[in-house]
Structure 1
Amino acid sequence: MPVWKRNLLVCWFGIFVTGVGMSQIAPVLPLYIQQLGVENPASIARLSGIAFGITYVISALFSPIWGLAADKFGRKPMLLRASLGMAVIIGCMGFVHNVYILIGLRLLQGTITGYGTACTTLIATQTDKEHAGYALGTLSTASIAGSLLGPSLGGFIAENMGLEDTFFLTGALLLAAFILTLLFVQESFVREDKQALRFKEVWSSVPEKNLTITLFVSFFVLTVALYTVEPVITVYVNHLSRSGSHIALIAGLTFSASGLANIIAAPRLGRLSDRIGAHRVMLAALITAGLIFIPQAFVQNPWQLMGLRFALGLAAGGLIPSVNILVKKITPSSITGRVFGLNMSAGYLGIFGGSVLGGQIAAWFGIRYVFFITAALLLINAVWVYFKVYKKLNSQ
């Protein structure tokens, strides 16, 4: 097996498990906080929001720092640091007896992340141009699938094994990712002179500043759009379900539908990007995804919603890979880690912002408006990408 394929397989597993580790706490967090002794419903809701969101906010701050370290010391050391660190921290969450210790560990989890940034940089720099689109497309499915399937997996483990076992199992999977990375990932790393530069000097060496900023903003909007529905899916499914039974299972399947479709579509759309250009795939996927959000507001039963979420996952498979391919294309190899770190920060902020925005829209206007506003965000982003990215790259 070629080295780039072996690296891709290990990184896919590691990023998937990391995504699960970041998101699996969502459905069990209120129950776990209650188990830790908090009884007031308002306090449970407030502490759950803090514990869930703080990881993503801190990750956004530290992602560029770990990107710098990846450029300076190599990507494999960053993979080992992040996977082992998260294995220990998440495993320790199963032993806490105080909610504030849990929040502290979630904060520490945010500081130690960086596996995804290092993996994306490793694959982008170690894969030949002929296979770069396919590799980055495949890699992107891991993060999305882990993040979307994590809540379902966490809820299933908590219901059938126990709340603490959710953390123990995730920690064990991350430890497996550490061992696989140690044994099988290979990197030909050569440190370049520019890797000692400060941020201002690094930014001055970015050749396409406006295009890079456009891609960062687009990535932020994409992740906001993909996660606006996450806090309201279970409530929406409950509203659509007439029987009122198996709500958690149906909501979990609805979460999983878009993740499964993304796994199917992203590698294929990555290959298509190699042939016709990532900017074309990105624009088409943005328009398609925006349009698919609209009928989700009018569904009459959970199965219609599940089908549309699957269709959304197929379209979304062309979004994040396209952004990564374009970032790689316009970024010098000596600063790839730092630029991908900044891009990952935009994604983490988008996850946090999307979850908060979706909940606020649902509270103020109703759940159906979450889909309308998300569709508008994607379509407005499509117009911006057309003028700022598509027309620029199509003329070259």
Structure 2
Amino acid sequence: MTTQQLVTRKSLRWELRGYDSRNMAFLWVGQFVNTAGLMMLVPIMPFYLNQIGTSGTAETQTWAGVAIAAPALALAVATPLWGKLGDRIGRKWMVVRALLGLAVAMVIMATAVAPLALVAGRLLQGSLGGVVEAAAAFAGSTGSNKKRGSSLGKSFSATAAGALAGPIAGGLLVGTGGLKLLMFIIAALATALAIICALGLREPEGQRNTSNLAQGGRFLQHGLLRQVPGAITLALAAATVYFGVYGLIPVYALHVDRIVDGGDSASLWVGVLHSVMWSGTLAGSFWWGRRNDSTKRPLHAFSLAIGGCAVSIALLALPLSPFLMLPIRLVQGFCFAALAQSLFHHFSQHAPDSQKSSSIGAANSFLLIGQSAGPLLAGPLVNALPIPAVILIMAGACSLSFALVVRTVRAE
């Protein structure tokens, strides 16, 4: 190879690295805005629903469960269609589409005067989603084997940062009437960011948008599932732990409301406690990513994190003051940070290079099952059982997930 060829190859490598850094920056900001918009209502959903027309615990909890689960349900249905389109036109335009969809959804939710309209906005938010999935697939498929954990950690830090900022803003504004204005601001930011991504986001040649459930389906059809150790068990464990974590959300708001005796302080505390959890997730995203790179055992991290989630959720069933809940939520968030990225890391490192993004799509589909089922079933459970008992059921789901994954961890 000539000196000129070496220089050309080196220059191309640095050019691609620059494109990757710019892409990740755009995707990080997109994830942050998307997640902030998605999560700002989640911890205070029962309080917001009371403002727009629900009455009574049963009705409010039922609508809260539906509203929280709606984006995940819509995402599971819509992404196969977006995946086919993304294969043809590229991941870049899927990101632009998702940001514009977020803008429209936020306007619908801001103008909602009935629970059904709010759920419609949440459904639209999920059906047009895809920023988080695109960024995770980009990080998992383009990062080097040595740094894949760190890349995934950085990607999920954007989700954690958005989920941290959103609930704080929602908790502060839900009782002041400023929440709707914030939704319009997020819609404007998402529109501006969509234009920036359309102009500046570059998809490397030869890469296709495989960060979706459609690719997860192909992952199964092509028999690649057999190449990932413990894939079936991990699929069940992923769905079960997310069932417990996300099923806690609508129940937890009511739990805190009763502890602090209602009022505006309840919504503020719910927002603070939810944000504390995501503060732990933000810190844990980087730590778990580096750990997975150094140990090369993402399933070990996955199992430790599941166990931590089970214990911390179980402790929340106790009649603790909000101040005592703070460290528990921090630990829960730190453990939660390892779940998705460790699962994605394991699936991607065992898949062939040409199918790494497909493997992430498959793993994500399993998480979405639990993410949607948990909130949907939490409402009926609250109507039938005491709140502490429902919280223990969610902790039990995480414990079951831990039991499922232990054997696979030993094999790893």
Taking structure 2 as the reference length, the TM-score comes to: 0.81
Range 275-284 or range 52-61, more displaced:
52-61
C-alpha contact 1:362 1:368 (8 A) present in aligned 2: no
> What does 1:1-396 align with in structure 2 at a 5 Å threshold?
2-26=18-42, 27=44, 31=48, 35=52, 38=53, 50-95=66-111, 102-147=118-163, 150-190=166-206, 199=217, 203-206=221-224, 207-208=226-227, 211-241=230-260, 246-276=265-295, 277-388=297-408, 390-393=409-412
Q: CA deviation at 1:20?
A: 2.5
Range 126-135 or range 364-373, more displaced:
364-373
**Deviation beyond 6 Å, 4+ runs, structure 1:** 42-45, 194-198, 242-245
Identical aligned residues as a percent: 23
Taking structure 1 as the reference length, the TM-score comes to: 0.84
Tell me, in whole angstroms, the C-alpha distance in 2 between the residues paired with 1:220 and 1:247: 30
Structure 1 stretches lacking a partner, 5+ long = none
Tell me, in whole angstroms, the C-alpha distance in 2 between the residues paired with 1:74 and 1:332: 21
Aligned positions, number: 389
Relative to structure 1, is the Cα distance of residues 211 and 175 closer, same or farther in structure 2, using a 3 angstrom cutoff? farther
Residues 290-345 of structure 1, C-alpha deviation per residue, up to 9 Å, x if partnerless?
Answer: 22233222253111112111111122222221011112112334344444334333
C-alpha contact 2:65 2:376 (8 A) present in aligned 1: no
C-alpha contact 1:361 1:369 (8 A) present in aligned 2: no
Relative to structure 1, is the Cα distance of residues 325 and 247 closer, same or farther in structure 2, using a 3 angstrom cutoff? same
Q: CA deviation at 1:66?
A: 3.0
Tell me, in whole angstroms, the C-alpha distance in 2 between the residues paired with 1:350 and 1:198: 16
Relative to structure 1, is the Cα distance of residues 201 and 312 closer, same or farther in structure 2, using a 3 angstrom cutoff? closer
Q: CA RMSD in A?
A: 3.4
Range 142-151 or range 107-116, more displaced:
142-151
Tell me, in whole angstroms, the C-alpha distance in 2 between the residues paired with 1:295 and 1:63: 36
Tell me, in whole angstroms, the C-alpha distance in 2 between the residues paired with 1:48 and 1:298: 23
Residue type of the alignment partner of 1:208: Q
Q: CA deviation at 1:177?
A: 3.2
Q: CA deviation at 1:139?
A: 1.6
Tell me, in whole angstroms, the C-alpha distance in 1 between the residues paired with 2:344 and 2:215: 23
Structure 2 stretches lacking a partner, 5+ long = 1-16
Relative to structure 1, is the Cα distance of residues 43 and 134 closer, same or farther in structure 2, using a 3 angstrom cutoff? same
Relative to structure 1, is the Cα distance of residues 282 and 218 closer, same or farther in structure 2, using a 3 angstrom cutoff? same
Residues 57-104 of structure 1, C-alpha deviation per residue, up to 9 Å, x if partnerless?
Answer: 111112344344444543222111211222233234434677655544
